[in-house]
Chains A and B, each alone.
Chain A
Amino acid sequence: DAGVTQSPTHLIKTRGQQVTLRCSPKSGHDTVSWYQQALGQGPQFIFQYYEEEERQRGNFPDRFSGHQFPNYSSELNVNALLLGDSALYLCASSSQADLAGPRTGELFFGEGSRLTVL
């Protein structure tokens, strides 16, 4: 049973460029969340996708956008990259049924995509 997979694992971009990160959720999961983790800090919620729509968004500018596909996989796009966008980007999947259940909120994370902006 494949867990959450993310690609690429590492990438380097320069300021002003655009980047796309990809995530395939765990089998059976239909909900994907994205988190940004700066060095030495805890993850910060970017947004969550369910049924191909952005359902909730954290405190991130419009430069951060996403998409969910019919197979539940997801992309995170960041435009006009800034040095401060350098971070580990984590994708987490869950099922809508679990979110409503007693262990509500348990997420399964991928190993992340480490973005360096020069």
Chain B
Amino acid sequence: AQKITQTQPGMFVQEKEAVTLDCTYDTSDPSYGLFWYKQPSSGEMIFLIYQGSYDQQNATEGRYSLNFQKARKSANLVISASQLGDSAMYFCAMREGGSNDYKLSFGAGTTVTVRA
């Protein structure tokens, strides 16, 4: 079964507007971490934001915020005040909590194109 599902293959957003990228996950582990990474055309994956399963508050990092709905198993990324440089692929990823499990499981990604 797919651990991370990103249902939006591509999105367009106007500069200075906000955009929400959807992510749902599947795990039976009570301890897990959720990550969002940005991948520009250069190929490098850039860490954006992290949410732990036991965190009481939604994570925020500058213009990035994570809308964490644990019961729905969703972890949507909100990018506020979009900039042209935000155009990239965005990946949601999860690390499940077992201390001997170090891998990240990634979704298929969402392409964001910011229009001037």
Chain A residues closer than 8 Å to B84, beta-carbon distance: none
Give the A-B pair count, Cβ closer than 8 A. Answer: 66
Please give the number of chain B residues whose Cβ is less than 8 angstroms from any Cβ of chain A in the complex: 26
Minimal beta-carbon separation of A90 from chain B (angstroms) = 6
CA gap between A108 and B91 in the complex, in Å = 14
A42 interface neighbour in B42, B50, B52, B109, Cβ under 8 Å: B109
Given contacts A43-B45, A100-B99, A107-B45, 17 further A-B contacts (CB under 8 A): A40-B108, A42-B4, A43-B91, A43-B106, A45-B103, A48-B103, A55-B102, A56-B103, A88-B43, A90-B43, A105-B33, A105-B95, A106-B35, A107-B104, A109-B44, A109-B45, A111-B44
Residues of A participating in the B interface, judged by any CB pair closer than 8 Å: 31, 33, 35, 40-45, 48, 55-56, 58, 88, 90, 92, 99-100, 102-112, 114
